[in-house]
Amino acid sequence: MPPDTSPSVATIVVILAVTDGRLQVLLVHRTGPPEEGKWALPGGRWDGTESLDALATRKLVEETGVADVYLEQLFTISGLDPARPSVAVAYFALVEAAKVRLREEEAWHPAWQPVDALPPLAFDNNRVIGQAAARVGAKLDYTNIAYGLLPEQFTLRELQAVYEAILRRPLDRRNFRKRMLSSGIIEATAEHRRAGAHRPAQLFRFISREPVIL
């Protein structure tokens, strides 16, 4: 077979969720060269039969079992593979941790790892994850992006936990409530959630669940 000089196109997906009060990223173990044995972001080769977005979504569903998630492009880089022309399109996705079912029996052992304490990863995956986390943090301020990390209905406390995990600092409960309610991105539902020996919490929802891309 002659050396292949036609460009290779691939996607990489930074899958993020909040569990245990921390922002976590889904990593897999590389089972082949290069960088075999290292942790890396999931991804896959593009064969041109579907759109890039569809490929990224499919990879996501394969790893997490979750459909209908927040998916956004990060950037595209060329030249990762020294052997041939290559382009990698990086995405990030936000998923609701409770809905995810990892395929832990697979050879690549998918696992959540906290974004703020990652080991050195294959390629420049640390940088890619850092960029994704920074983008999400910036968008918390002026978009509804947190809807991707939460169920349809949620308490203000749960919403605040998501914000705190991403911003990595505690927020004042009263000010947070006021800011969220006056922002116009969430609204109260008629329902409450009873959970333990205390006053039930009102449930809220995002008024819009459409992504905002700038």
Partner DNA sequence: CCAAAAGTGTTAAAGCTACACCCATGG
Partner DNA sequence: CCATGGGTGTAGCTTTAACACTTTTGG
The one among 175, 190, 213, 214 contacting DNA by CB under 7 A: 175
Residue pair 86/10 in contact (Cβ under 8 Å)? The answer is yes
Torsion angle, CA of 45/51/55/56, rounded to 10 degrees?
110
Residue 182 interacting with a second copy (CB under 8 A): no
Nearer to DNA, 45 or 178 (CB): 178
The residues, ordered by sequence, that sit 6+ positions from 181 with a Cβ below 8 Å of its Cβ are none
The one among 47, 174, 190, 213 contacting DNA by CB under 7 A: 174
Q: Which stretch binds DNA (CB under 7 A): 25-33, 63-71, 78-86, 166-174?
A: 166-174
Beta bridge partners of 23: 18
Q: What tokens does 65 get?
A: 């079992």
The one among 30, 40, 73, 180 contacting a second copy by CB under 8 A: 73
Residue type (1 letter), 165: A
Q: Closest Cα to residue 119, out of 29, 16, 22?
A: 29
User: How far apart are CB 139 and a second copy at their closest, in Å?
Assistant: 8
Site residues, DNA (CB under 7 A): 155-157, 172-175, 177-179, 182, 192, 194, 196-202
